[in-house]
Amino acid sequence: MGKQKVVISTDLCADLKSFLSSASYDKLFVLTDTNTRDKCLPFIQKVPQLKEARIITTDAGDLNKNIEILAYIWRILSTEGASRNSFLVNLGGGMITDMGGFAGATFKRGIRTLNIPTTLMASVDAAVGGKTGINFNGLKNEIGSFYPPECVFIDCNFLRTLDRENLLSGYAEMIKHALISSIEIYTSVLLFDPDSKIDYSFLNKLVAQSVAVKEKIVEEDPKEKGIRKALNFGHTIGHAFESLTFKKDAPVLHGHAVAAGMVCELYLSHKVCGFPMDRLRQVISYIKEYYRPISFDCTDYDTLCELMTHDKKNEGGIINFTLLAQIGDVRINQSVTKELILESLDFYRESFGI
């Protein structure tokens, strides 16, 4: 699997122009959704090479990350004569970078892809690391591949138009990267206040730092055989919360579910690996200040455990957790009793007064 290049850009058009000038390719395609076509595409179309690109547009939202829309993208690539030496530029949030990445991975057994994430979630997570895919059979990212883009261009200027909820959703992954890496990174991440006037140059630095954490892990273990599982911290219970809110027709954004998942999994970390309680309280107080609680009660516990068992990261029906002994001291493949998982759900509800 090739290594992707990540450019943290302060002048996206100049960086794209120079990348495309030095690359040799035949055709350019840009995948957008209706939002990024209207809000972000005009900005990059200042790049001369992109003026002639064929634009492919899908409806926005994760529900569109499906086989029908994927076939629509393949069809346009096919009828417009895309070759293995064509570029597909994925301009959007995680839905676009996941699905465009997978279209690129599969069309003619692989064409060239570039990611330009436009949300914080995609910038620090989805667009980086080579995971691509679509939802299938009611399951998120059920079909996919590891197929890194040649380059990811991250420009925090796109984040200026993000609403608070989407900003916080991406920020949860940055808190996760901080918790699995070092005290220094953790301390800087907790300094960010999404409710005061946002300092975008500080955010840019935090994003660069967060992406570097992910890149280092992915480089070591691109196909998630071992240490890449560190990136699943907060996600075993987080995904279950996400699916539960979806079932209840009151979906929360991925990062908000992960923030709640991290609270539960820090509790498990405390119980199983001795993660310090004072740090746990500090993380809870940050999450409590900015993230609304996930609404659930003890009648949801069985469903939540069932959802955790079906997470595709598990093998043989055993729920596998990534836990922490300290900030930066990651323990993968931890199995936990059902009693303790339920205790962690109780702990969340007590902590958030629900």
Binding stretches for ligand GLY (CB under 6 A): 125, 129, 131, 228, 231
Gap between the Cα atoms of 84 and 303, Å rounded: 45
Give me the least distance between CB of 190 and ligand GLY, in Å please. 21
Q: Please name the amino acid found at residue 270.
A: H
Cβ 232 to ligand GLY shortest distance, Å: 7
Q: How far is the CB of 92 from ligand GLY (least distance, A)?
A: 17
- Alpha-carbon distance of 83 to 22, in angstroms, equals 19
Amino acid at 55: I
Closest CB to ligand GLY among residues 20, 230: 230
Q: How far is the CB of 109 from ligand GLY (least distance, A)?
A: 23
**Least distance (Å) from ligand GLY to the CB of residue 349?**
27
Measured distance between the N- and C-terminal CA atoms of the chain, rounded to whole angstroms? 45
Angstrom distance (rounded) from CA 343 to CA 264: 9
* Tokens representing residue 232 in the block: 């699943």
Question: Roughly what angle, to the nearest 10 degrees, separates helices 301-309 and 235-247?
Answer: 120
Nearer to ligand GLY, 214 or 279 (CB): 214
Q: Would you call 334 helix, strand, or coil by DSSP?
A: strand
Residue 51 CB, shortest distance to ligand GLY, in Å, is: 33
DSSP string across 190-230: TT--TTS---HHHHHHHHHHHHHHHHHHHHH-TT-SSGGGG
Query: Which residue's CB is nearer to ligand GLY, number 129 or number 255?
Result: 129
**Rounded to the nearest whole angstrom, what is the least distance from the CB of residue 231 to ligand GLY in the complex?**
4
* DSSP-assigned letter for residue 123: I
Instruction: Name residue, tokens 């060239």.
Output: 112
**58, two tokens:** 């899908």
Token pair for 259: 């923030």
Closer by beta carbon to ligand GLY, 94 or else 293: 94
Give me the residues paired with residue 153 across strands.
Answer: 7
Among 9, 1, 8, which Cα is nearest to 228's?
Answer: 1
C-alpha separations of 78 from 147, 178, 227 in Å: 20, 42, 38
From the CB of 300, what's the least distance to ligand GLY, in Å? Answer: 25
C-alpha to C-alpha distance for 56 and 73, rounded to whole angstroms? 7
Residue placing its CB nearer to ligand GLY in the complex, 127 or 283:
127
The residue sitting closest to ligand GLY, measured at its beta carbon, is: 231
